Amino acid sequence: MTQDLLDNSRDWNDDAGPRWARHADALDRQLSPFSRRIIDDAGIQSGDQILDVGCGACGMSLELEGLVGPTGQVTGIDLSRPLLAVARDRAASTGATLSLVDDDAETHRFATQSFDFCVSRFGWMFFQDTCAALVNLREGLKPGGRIRFVCWGPREANPWITTPFEAVAEIVELSPPEISDQPGPFRFGEGERARQMAEAARFVDVELVPLKGRLQIGGTSQRDGFVNFAMEIGPAARALKDASSSTRDRIERRLRDLFTELHDADGVRLGYSAWLLTARNPE
Protein backbone atom coordinates (compact mmCIF):
# COMPACT_ATOMS: atom_id res chain seq x y z
CA MET A 1 0.00 0.00 0.00
CA THR A 2 1.40 3.43 -0.92
CA GLN A 3 1.99 6.12 1.70
CA ASP A 4 -0.94 8.16 0.33
CA LEU A 5 -3.28 5.20 0.74
CA LEU A 6 -1.92 4.55 4.23
CA ASP A 7 -2.53 8.18 5.21
CA ASN A 8 -6.06 8.04 3.79
CA SER A 9 -6.79 4.84 5.70
CA ARG A 10 -5.43 6.28 8.96
CA ASP A 11 -7.58 9.40 8.60
CA TRP A 12 -10.76 7.39 8.13
CA ASN A 13 -9.91 5.10 11.03
CA ASP A 14 -8.24 7.39 13.56
CA ASP A 15 -9.74 10.85 12.97
CA ALA A 16 -12.60 11.42 10.55
CA GLY A 17 -14.00 7.90 10.81
CA PRO A 18 -14.87 7.96 14.53
CA ARG A 19 -16.42 11.43 14.20
CA TRP A 20 -18.52 10.42 11.20
CA ALA A 21 -19.54 7.22 12.99
CA ARG A 22 -20.87 9.25 15.93
CA HIS A 23 -23.01 11.27 13.53
CA ALA A 24 -23.97 8.47 11.14
CA ASP A 25 -27.72 8.95 11.57
CA ALA A 26 -27.46 12.72 11.07
CA LEU A 27 -25.29 12.28 7.98
CA ASP A 28 -27.76 9.85 6.45
CA ARG A 29 -30.63 12.25 7.06
CA GLN A 30 -28.67 15.16 5.61
CA LEU A 31 -27.60 13.20 2.53
CA SER A 32 -30.85 11.31 1.94
CA PRO A 33 -31.81 13.50 -1.07
CA PHE A 34 -28.74 12.17 -2.87
CA SER A 35 -29.58 8.56 -2.04
CA ARG A 36 -32.93 9.15 -3.68
CA ARG A 37 -31.35 10.58 -6.83
CA ILE A 38 -29.01 7.60 -7.08
CA ILE A 39 -31.76 5.03 -6.49
CA ASP A 40 -34.77 6.60 -8.20
CA ASP A 41 -35.05 5.83 -11.92
CA ALA A 42 -32.06 3.48 -11.74
CA GLY A 43 -34.16 0.49 -12.72
CA ILE A 44 -32.90 -1.67 -9.86
CA GLN A 45 -34.66 -5.03 -9.79
CA SER A 46 -35.09 -7.96 -7.46
CA GLY A 47 -32.05 -10.22 -7.73
CA ASP A 48 -29.60 -7.48 -8.72
CA GLN A 49 -26.04 -7.48 -7.39
CA ILE A 50 -25.00 -3.98 -6.25
CA LEU A 51 -21.68 -2.54 -5.07
CA ASP A 52 -21.82 0.57 -2.83
CA VAL A 53 -18.43 2.34 -2.97
CA GLY A 54 -17.48 4.35 0.11
CA CYS A 55 -20.57 2.92 1.78
CA GLY A 56 -19.79 4.39 5.21
CA ALA A 57 -22.39 3.33 7.76
CA CYS A 58 -24.46 1.82 4.92
CA GLY A 59 -27.57 3.98 5.15
CA MET A 60 -27.99 3.81 1.37
CA SER A 61 -26.89 0.16 1.22
CA LEU A 62 -29.77 -0.81 3.50
CA GLU A 63 -32.22 1.00 1.22
CA LEU A 64 -30.79 -0.85 -1.76
CA GLU A 65 -31.11 -4.22 -0.04
CA GLY A 66 -34.84 -3.67 0.27
CA LEU A 67 -34.99 -3.35 -3.52
CA VAL A 68 -32.89 -6.36 -4.52
CA GLY A 69 -34.71 -8.76 -2.18
CA PRO A 70 -33.53 -12.15 -0.92
CA THR A 71 -32.22 -13.23 -4.33
CA GLY A 72 -30.03 -10.13 -4.71
CA GLN A 73 -27.00 -8.91 -2.81
CA VAL A 74 -25.66 -5.52 -1.76
CA THR A 75 -21.94 -5.27 -1.07
CA GLY A 76 -20.58 -2.22 0.73
CA ILE A 77 -16.88 -1.37 0.66
CA ASP A 78 -15.17 1.28 2.79
CA LEU A 79 -11.79 2.06 4.35
CA SER A 80 -13.29 3.15 7.67
CA ARG A 81 -13.60 0.45 10.30
CA PRO A 82 -15.53 2.75 12.69
CA LEU A 83 -18.17 3.39 10.02
CA LEU A 84 -18.31 -0.27 9.05
CA ALA A 85 -18.85 -1.14 12.73
CA VAL A 86 -21.95 1.08 12.69
CA ALA A 87 -23.02 -0.59 9.45
CA ARG A 88 -22.71 -4.05 11.00
CA ASP A 89 -24.77 -3.00 14.02
CA ARG A 90 -27.44 -1.56 11.75
CA ALA A 91 -27.51 -4.68 9.60
CA ALA A 92 -27.77 -6.93 12.67
CA SER A 93 -30.62 -4.89 14.14
CA THR A 94 -32.64 -5.05 10.91
CA GLY A 95 -31.78 -8.59 9.86
CA ALA A 96 -30.07 -7.32 6.71
CA THR A 97 -27.62 -9.57 4.88
CA LEU A 98 -25.22 -6.94 3.58
CA SER A 99 -21.76 -8.06 2.53
CA LEU A 100 -19.27 -5.57 4.03
CA VAL A 101 -15.67 -5.22 2.84
CA ASP A 102 -12.99 -3.34 4.79
CA ASP A 103 -10.74 -2.25 1.94
CA ASP A 104 -10.00 0.42 -0.66
CA ALA A 105 -12.24 0.11 -3.73
CA GLU A 106 -9.43 1.56 -5.84
CA THR A 107 -7.25 -1.51 -5.39
CA HIS A 108 -9.57 -4.26 -4.09
CA ARG A 109 -9.74 -7.31 -6.34
CA PHE A 110 -13.42 -7.75 -7.13
CA ALA A 111 -14.72 -10.85 -8.85
CA THR A 112 -14.91 -9.93 -12.53
CA GLN A 113 -18.30 -9.21 -14.08
CA SER A 114 -20.15 -9.70 -10.80
CA PHE A 115 -22.24 -6.52 -10.29
CA ASP A 116 -25.28 -5.10 -12.06
CA PHE A 117 -24.80 -1.67 -10.48
CA CYS A 118 -22.01 0.25 -8.81
CA VAL A 119 -23.16 3.27 -6.79
CA SER A 120 -21.39 5.88 -4.71
CA ARG A 121 -22.73 8.73 -2.58
CA PHE A 122 -19.74 11.07 -2.30
CA GLY A 123 -17.32 8.18 -1.83
CA TRP A 124 -15.39 8.34 -5.09
CA MET A 125 -13.78 11.81 -5.02
CA PHE A 126 -11.03 10.53 -2.72
CA PHE A 127 -9.33 7.94 -4.92
CA GLN A 128 -5.60 8.49 -5.38
CA ASP A 129 -5.90 7.56 -9.08
CA THR A 130 -9.48 8.07 -10.25
CA CYS A 131 -9.04 6.54 -13.69
CA ALA A 132 -7.38 3.39 -12.31
CA ALA A 133 -10.10 3.09 -9.68
CA LEU A 134 -12.87 3.42 -12.28
CA VAL A 135 -11.21 0.80 -14.48
CA ASN A 136 -11.09 -1.52 -11.46
CA LEU A 137 -14.76 -0.92 -10.72
CA ARG A 138 -15.77 -1.34 -14.36
CA GLU A 139 -14.05 -4.73 -14.48
CA GLY A 140 -16.22 -5.77 -11.54
CA LEU A 141 -19.39 -4.86 -13.44
CA LYS A 142 -21.27 -7.26 -15.66
CA PRO A 143 -21.41 -6.32 -19.35
CA GLY A 144 -24.06 -3.60 -19.52
CA GLY A 145 -23.70 -2.92 -15.79
CA ARG A 146 -24.10 0.69 -14.73
CA ILE A 147 -22.57 3.24 -12.38
CA ARG A 148 -24.52 5.96 -10.56
CA PHE A 149 -22.16 8.28 -8.66
CA VAL A 150 -22.80 11.59 -6.91
CA CYS A 151 -20.11 14.22 -6.31
CA TRP A 152 -20.15 17.86 -5.21
CA GLY A 153 -20.35 20.72 -7.67
CA PRO A 154 -18.24 23.91 -7.50
CA ARG A 155 -17.12 24.93 -4.03
CA GLU A 156 -18.55 28.44 -4.37
CA ALA A 157 -21.96 26.97 -5.24
CA ASN A 158 -22.10 25.02 -1.95
CA PRO A 159 -22.94 27.44 0.89
CA TRP A 160 -23.73 24.44 3.12
CA ILE A 161 -19.95 24.28 3.60
CA THR A 162 -18.69 27.77 2.68
CA THR A 163 -21.01 29.56 5.15
CA PRO A 164 -19.79 27.75 8.30
CA PHE A 165 -16.25 27.81 6.89
CA GLU A 166 -16.31 31.61 6.68
CA ALA A 167 -17.68 31.84 10.22
CA VAL A 168 -14.96 29.61 11.66
CA ALA A 169 -12.29 31.41 9.61
CA GLU A 170 -13.15 34.60 11.52
CA ILE A 171 -11.61 32.96 14.59
CA VAL A 172 -8.82 30.71 13.32
CA GLU A 173 -6.80 30.62 10.14
CA LEU A 174 -8.19 28.00 7.76
CA SER A 175 -7.29 26.98 4.24
CA PRO A 176 -10.39 26.47 2.09
CA PRO A 177 -10.99 22.99 0.67
CA GLU A 178 -8.59 22.59 -2.21
CA ILE A 179 -9.85 22.72 -5.79
CA SER A 180 -7.52 20.47 -7.77
CA ASP A 181 -7.26 16.99 -9.21
CA GLN A 182 -6.14 15.74 -5.80
CA PRO A 183 -8.46 13.73 -3.52
CA GLY A 184 -11.01 16.05 -1.95
CA PRO A 185 -14.70 16.99 -1.83
CA PHE A 186 -14.59 19.44 -4.76
CA ARG A 187 -12.29 17.45 -7.02
CA PHE A 188 -14.98 17.20 -9.71
CA GLY A 189 -16.66 20.51 -8.99
CA GLU A 190 -16.75 21.58 -12.62
CA GLY A 191 -18.26 18.25 -13.66
CA GLU A 192 -16.47 17.85 -16.96
CA ARG A 193 -13.47 16.26 -15.26
CA ALA A 194 -15.74 13.52 -13.89
CA ARG A 195 -17.05 12.84 -17.40
CA GLN A 196 -13.50 12.67 -18.76
CA MET A 197 -12.45 10.18 -16.09
CA ALA A 198 -15.41 7.89 -16.82
CA GLU A 199 -14.73 7.99 -20.55
CA ALA A 200 -11.00 7.37 -20.01
CA ALA A 201 -11.96 4.28 -17.98
CA ARG A 202 -13.88 3.08 -21.09
CA PHE A 203 -17.40 3.58 -19.80
CA VAL A 204 -20.00 4.44 -22.42
CA ASP A 205 -23.26 6.43 -22.40
CA VAL A 206 -21.70 8.82 -19.89
CA GLU A 207 -24.15 11.45 -18.65
CA LEU A 208 -23.77 14.24 -16.11
CA VAL A 209 -26.89 15.63 -14.42
CA PRO A 210 -26.72 18.80 -12.28
CA LEU A 211 -28.37 18.60 -8.86
CA LYS A 212 -29.31 21.71 -6.90
CA GLY A 213 -31.30 22.30 -3.73
CA ARG A 214 -30.96 22.96 -0.01
CA LEU A 215 -29.55 20.66 2.66
CA GLN A 216 -30.85 20.43 6.20
CA ILE A 217 -27.64 20.77 8.22
CA GLY A 218 -27.23 17.75 10.46
CA GLY A 219 -30.57 16.40 9.25
CA THR A 220 -32.36 17.97 12.23
CA SER A 221 -34.47 20.98 13.17
CA GLN A 222 -33.05 21.01 16.73
CA ARG A 223 -30.53 23.82 17.30
CA ASP A 224 -28.23 21.82 19.60
CA GLY A 225 -28.29 18.97 17.11
CA PHE A 226 -26.96 20.91 14.16
CA VAL A 227 -24.45 22.88 16.25
CA ASN A 228 -23.01 19.64 17.65
CA PHE A 229 -22.97 18.18 14.14
CA ALA A 230 -21.14 21.20 12.70
CA MET A 231 -18.55 21.04 15.48
CA GLU A 232 -17.47 17.56 14.37
CA ILE A 233 -18.21 17.45 10.64
CA GLY A 234 -16.79 20.01 8.23
CA PRO A 235 -14.49 23.04 8.64
CA ALA A 236 -15.00 23.41 12.39
CA ALA A 237 -13.73 19.88 12.96
CA ARG A 238 -10.44 20.74 11.24
CA ALA A 239 -10.11 23.94 13.25
CA LEU A 240 -10.75 22.14 16.54
CA LYS A 241 -8.16 19.43 15.98
CA ASP A 242 -5.43 21.28 17.91
CA ALA A 243 -7.50 24.12 19.38
CA SER A 244 -7.42 25.27 22.98
CA SER A 245 -10.57 25.05 25.08
CA SER A 246 -11.08 28.82 24.79
CA THR A 247 -10.82 28.67 20.99
CA ARG A 248 -13.23 25.75 20.94
CA ASP A 249 -15.71 27.79 23.00
CA ARG A 250 -15.39 30.77 20.65
CA ILE A 251 -16.01 28.60 17.59
CA GLU A 252 -19.03 26.96 19.19
CA ARG A 253 -20.50 30.37 20.11
CA ARG A 254 -19.89 31.67 16.59
CA LEU A 255 -21.60 28.68 15.00
CA ARG A 256 -24.49 28.89 17.45
CA ASP A 257 -24.95 32.59 16.59
CA LEU A 258 -24.74 31.83 12.86
CA PHE A 259 -27.25 29.01 12.99
CA THR A 260 -29.60 30.98 15.24
CA GLU A 261 -29.66 33.67 12.56
CA LEU A 262 -30.33 31.12 9.79
CA HIS A 263 -32.68 28.86 11.76
CA ASP A 264 -36.35 28.43 10.93
CA ALA A 265 -39.00 25.79 11.67
CA ASP A 266 -37.13 23.28 9.47
CA GLY A 267 -33.75 23.87 11.07
CA VAL A 268 -30.92 25.32 9.02
CA ARG A 269 -31.10 24.74 5.28
CA LEU A 270 -28.27 25.87 3.03
CA GLY A 271 -27.82 25.51 -0.70
CA TYR A 272 -25.89 22.79 -2.49
CA SER A 273 -24.69 22.01 -5.99
CA ALA A 274 -23.80 18.47 -7.02
CA TRP A 275 -23.50 16.17 -10.01
CA LEU A 276 -25.03 12.77 -10.75
CA LEU A 277 -22.70 10.81 -13.03
CA THR A 278 -24.21 7.82 -14.83
CA ALA A 279 -22.50 5.49 -17.29
CA ARG A 280 -22.55 1.93 -18.59
CA ASN A 281 -20.00 -0.85 -18.99
CA PRO A 282 -19.96 -1.85 -22.67
CA GLU A 283 -21.74 -5.09 -23.57
Class of residue 83 by CB neighbours under 10 A (exposed 0-12, middle 13-18, buried 19+): buried
Give me the pLDDT at residue 235, please. Answer: 77
Compute the distance between CA of residue 196 and CA of residue 193 in angstroms, rounded to an integer: 5
Question: For residues 30 and 121, what is the distance between their CA atoms, to the nearest angstrom?
Answer: 12
pLDDT in tens, 83-115: 999 999 999 999 999 999 999 999 999 999 999
Mean pLDDT of the chain: 92
Q: What is the pLDDT of residue 240?
A: 82
Contact 60, 39 (CB under 8 A): yes
* Residues constituting the chain: 283
Residues of the chain scoring pLDDT < 70:
1-10, 177-179
Q: What is this structure's pTM? A: 0.93
Residues whose CB is less than 8 angstroms from the CB of residue 279 and which lie 6 or more positions away in sequence, other chains included: 146, 147, 198, 203, 204, 205, 206, 207
Question: Angle, nearest 10°, between helix axes 245-262 and 159-169?
Answer: 140
- CATH class for the domain made up of 3-156+179-217+269-280: alpha beta
Q: Residue 258: what pLDDT?
A: 94
What's the rounded Cα separation, in Å, for the pair 33 and 27? 11
Nearest to 202 by CA among 132, 112, 149: 132
- Euclidean distance between CA atoms 22 and 146, whole angstroms: 32
- pLDDT on residue 40: 95
Given a contact cutoff of 8 angstroms between Cβ atoms, the answer to whether 185 and 179 are in contact is no
45 Ramachandran zone, left/alpha/beta (phi>0; psi -120 to 50): beta
pLDDT tens track for 19-60: 999 999 999 999 999 999 999 999 999 999 999 999 999 999
